[in-house]
Structure 1
């Protein structure tokens, strides 16, 4: 089974940075405790504080898909409705 790496980029609206940041930070401890989560790190761009990136590692795509359906993700979406200007997600495979 191949580990799945996710790179997610979230861009908050300029006047909503702190709201989005708080909602993203709330995801970290809950997600790290999920089955199959091998790493879940939030980053904030030093030059553009409205830009956040998650670097995630999952045991499998199936377990990541379970994460994407989790209640805390639904809560995040509700908490940031209208506050995010752009969201991109990339599924990647690492080469050792």
Structure 2
């Protein structure tokens, strides 16, 4: 149910587009190819189970956790013409 000047289904289209953007962002960050035997950051050995579970892995668990903690995450707010973004 859309209101005002928007057509029916416009809100769902925005939600779908936001979800698709986030899926594409996550897929772009996936590693691919040959897994490293040693971490690119600290040079510690990467366990074989991790290398098999995650193709293309380049970091040990500790370095990967540190990297993910540093990364900024999207706020989860839809900025595509939402009323909230227009009020700011």
Same fold by TM-score greater than 0.5: no
Greater fraction of residues in strand: 1
Structure with the bigger RCO (C-alpha within 8 Å, sep 6+) is 1
Higher helix proportion: 2
Q: Which has the larger radius of gyration?
A: 2
